[in-house]
Amino acid sequence: MAFKNDKRLEKKMNVNIDNIYHQIFPTITTISRANEEQFYVEEISGLALLDKELGIDTIIRFENGSFLTLQEKCRRYNNLSFNDFTFEYYNDPYVKSVGEWFKLAAQLYFYGYTNQEETDICKYFILNIPEFRLFLLQYDTEKIKQKLEKNTKHGRANFLCISFNEIPKKCIMKSFTKKEKKLPQMADYSKIVKEMEV
C-alpha cells in the first residue's frame, strides 16, 4: 500500500517535474515513465522492468536523438526538514532482496519534496549518479551497516540516509528551493493598548 501511495504521489507531481525538466533541458521531445499499472501484472516489461531491475523509471529524449535515464522520488513536505537523500539498501533485509544501492543504473536522480498542499515541488535536487557513486566508494560495508536506518512506517526496507549537506557539489547537477511566501505579521495589539492607556 505504501509503495502504491508513493507512486501515486509521484504520478501527481509528474506535470511539475516535467516543467522542471523543460526549464533545464529546453530541447526535450518526450518524457516517458513506467506507469503504476505495469507493476502489478504477472510479466512486467518496458519501463516497469527497467525500474524494477535497474532503477530507471523515466527516459527523457532530445531533439538530436540522445536521451537521459532517471530515477525519481518525491517526498512529502513533512520530510523536508530532514534534507537528506534516502538510498534504499535492502528492499527486504531478511531475504536480502536488493534495493537501489545494488542496482541503480539511472544516469540522473530527481529527488524532490512537495509543498504542504501537494500541488507543487518546493525543493529538489538532481543527482549525477556516476559522480555520486564515486563519492559513495568511501563507504565500506561496515560503515554502511552502521549508517543503515530501518523503515518504521511501512515495509521492511532499510536505507542509507545521507544529508544533502554532505554530498559534494559535483554530485548535484541542479538544486532549487522555492522561497515560501511569508504571512504578514500581526500587529502587536497589546503594545498599542498600553500606549492608549497612558
Which of 137, 111, 95, 129 is CA-nearest to residue 10?
111
Residue by residue, DSSP assigns 52-80 as HHHS--EEEEETTS-EEEEEEEEE-GGGG
User: In the predicted model, what is the mean pLDDT of residues 158-176?
Assistant: 96
Residue 57 has pLDDT above 60, yes or no: yes
| Residue type present at position 75 | R
List the domain boundaries for the chain.
2-197
The least confident of 28-32, 83-87, 115-119, 139-143 is 139-143
pLDDT at 11: 86
pLDDT at 140 over 50: yes
Quickly state the pLDDT bin for 181 (edges 50, 70, 90). Answer: low
In angstroms, what CA-CA distances link 156 with 50, 83, 96, 148?
22, 22, 11, 12
184 versus 31: the higher-pLDDT residue is 31
Cell output for 162: 545521507
